[in-house]
Amino acid sequence: MQIAPQHLNNSTTAVQRITVLAIFATLLIATVLPLGYFLAVYYRELGAMEAEAKGDSFYVSALASENPRLWQYQQVRLQDVLDRRPHKGAMESRTVYAFDGKMVAESRDNLGPPLMRQTYPVLDAGRPVGTVEITRSLRPILLRTSFAALLSLTLGWVIFYLIRIMPIRSVQKAEAQSQRYARELEETNADLRAFIFGIAHDLRAPLVNLKGFSGELRSDLAGVMPELRLGLSALSEAERQRVAAVLEQAVPEALGYIDASASKLDSLVNAILQLSRIDFRELNLEEIDSEALVRVALQNFAGTIKEKNIRVTLGVLPYLIADRLVMEQSLTNLLDNACKYLEPGRAGLVSITAEQSKDAVIFSVKDNGRGIAADDIHKVFEIFRRVGQQDTPGEGMGLAFVKALVRRQGGNIWCESVLGEGTTFCLSLPVEGGRRS
């Protein structure tokens, strides 16, 4: 769970990026499209108006060439030219101005503002003598443009939806689902832990009876033994031997087996309880000098180290925020294993090093011991499982315990080994102390 925040951060930045991109694309579509449309239509309209003006100016120019002085007064003919409109043409006003700007003739439609104008000169032998002006209302173009803008906005929204909302929604959905799974998993895990803890506990009550009554039986038997021995003398030799065999051999032996099995079961139950108690324990995070901690831990093995002549080397070990108990127990356990499972007849070498990354410290405990076979390596962290030669005492509990401890603090443990050459156990712990939700 400790990776969750980073993962969330990543998806937040991704969401932000996609949002910016989507907004940009949407704005682009919503502005460029109507603007482009407006400009295109506007210039086409101007072109069309220019063509009309040019046509009119052709006729007016002819009038001007015919009668350069009086053309301005030929109202009927001028009006005739201006009134001549294309079939189903646009609403427009056509005006002819003299060279001095005085209006000469006009054909007027009713136009609403804003207006657009286009002029074309009236020529007499190549000399401008007036202008023809065509005026149209911008309203139809603006109306069409606003319609286009509306369409663009719709299109922009669709695009925004497609690249921002839809993918994010599915990402969020997937995220919510994985969070739900994680929660369910955690609940199941908690249930399972409580269940195991309960079972281990309940196993204790019958064990008290098993051990208690076998003890009672033994002491009762010992108590009446003198009387029994006295009574035996009344029996025949053969009978006496049979009874003696039961009383002095079979019964103590049976009690011994019952006792030993109960003890074994008790130690298993205790191991399970110890293991599951890790999960109920609160972490006490503090700053820890791991080098000092390792040196203290090594003192526990001073005898073994001297006796087996093991060479121990320490790398630079950092300060970190961690739970002291987690660190002590896990490192002590790894050191214990390293010193315990050395190859007989080879000078022992054990090294403890640490590597620090941005958010984790990885401790390595390396030995040149007997190693672990590749087939067995995945079993080393299993509870009650012991691999390799069973010539050293142990419950098969240590590494399962270490793993539970380390994971409790949000860390991890793994192992690399070559049979006959040595083993390296690596233990990673978060620098700032692990948290578990």
Partner 1 sequence: MANLEDVTILLVEDDPGHAQLIEKNLRRAGITNTIVKLDDGQKCVDFLFKKGEYSGDDHRPPFLILLDLNLPVLLGYQVLEAIKGDARTKAIPVVILTTTDNPQEISRCYELGCNAYMTKPVDYEQFSEAIRKLALFLAIAKVSEKKP
Asked if 400 touches partner 1 (CB under 8 A), the answer is no
Binding test (CB under 8 A) with partner 1, winner from 7, 117, 183, 204: 204
Binding test (CB under 8 A) with partner 1, winner from 139, 211, 229, 385: 211
Asked if 84 touches partner 1 (CB under 8 A), the answer is no
Binding test (CB under 8 A) with partner 1, winner from 3, 125, 205, 230: 205
Do 322 and 288 touch, CB atoms closer than 8 A? yes
Which of the ranges 29-37, 152-160, 196-204, 316-324 carries the binding residues for partner 1, by CB under 8 A? 196-204
Binding mask 250-269 for partner 1 (x = CB under 8 A): ------------xx--x---
Number of residues that bind partner 1 (CB under 8 A): 18
**CA 77 to chain CA centroid, nearest Å:** 84
Do 365 and 334 touch, CB atoms closer than 8 A? yes
Q: Which three-class secondary structure state does DSSP give residue 427?
A: strand
Binding test (CB under 8 A) with partner 1, winner from 207, 321, 349, 377: 207
Asked if 201 touches partner 1 (CB under 8 A), the answer is yes
Binding test (CB under 8 A) with partner 1, winner from 73, 195, 280, 384: 280
Binding test (CB under 8 A) with partner 1, winner from 47, 68, 212, 303: 212
362 strand-pairing partners:
355, 428
d(CA 437, CA 433): 13
What's the min distance (Å) between Cβ of 246 and partner 1? 22
| Residue closer to partner 1 (CB basis): 107 or 214 | 214
Q: Which residues contact 106 (CB under 8 A, 6 or more apart)?
A: 82, 93, 94, 95, 96
Q: 35 φ, ψ to 5°?
A: -60, -45
Binding test (CB under 8 A) with partner 1, winner from 215, 231, 256, 420: 215
| Residue closer to partner 1 (CB basis): 76 or 205 | 205
d(CA 427, CA 328): 12
First to last CA, the chain: 7
| Residue closer to partner 1 (CB basis): 266 or 291 | 266
Asked if 300 touches partner 1 (CB under 8 A), the answer is no
Asked if 89 touches partner 1 (CB under 8 A), the answer is no
Kindly state the tokens that stand for 366: 């390396």
d(CA 140, CA 256): 109
Do 350 and 312 touch, CB atoms closer than 8 A? yes
How, if at all, do strands 115-124 and 127-137 pair? antiparallel
Rg over alpha carbons for the chain, rounded to the nearest Å, is: 49
Binding test (CB under 8 A) with partner 1, winner from 14, 162, 182, 208: 208
What's the min distance (Å) between Cβ of 400 and partner 1? 20
d(CA 247, CA 198): 39
Residues that bind partner 1 (CB under 8 A): 201-202, 204-205, 207-209, 211-216, 262-263, 266, 277, 280
